[in-house]
Amino acid sequence: MYWILLVVSLTLNATGNILAKYAMKDAPSKNFSSLAIYALTNWKIWLGIMCFGLAFGGYAIVLSKLDLSLAYPIMTTGGFLIIITVSFFLFSEHLSLLRLAGILLMIAGIWMISRT
Query: pLDDT of 40-98, one tens digit each?
Result: 899 999 999 999 999 999 999 999 999 998 899 899 999 999 999 999 999 999 999 99
Q: Where are the alpha helices (DSSP H) in 41-96?
A: 43-63, 68-90
Quick one: pLDDT at residue 12? 98
The residue-averaged pLDDT of 8-17 equals 97
Query: Does residue 116 surpass a pLDDT of 70?
Result: no
CB 51, CB 17: distance < 8 Å: no
Q: How far apart are the first and last CA of the chain?
A: 20
CB 101, CB 112: distance < 8 Å: no
**To 10 degrees, what angle do helices 68-90 and 2-24 make?**
40
Nearest-angstrom CA–CA distance, 94 and 101? 14
Quick one: pLDDT at residue 111? 85
Pseudo-torsion of CA 23, 28, 30, 31, nearest 10°? -20
CA angle 100, 101, 103 (to 5 degrees): 65
Eight-state DSSP code of residue 27: -
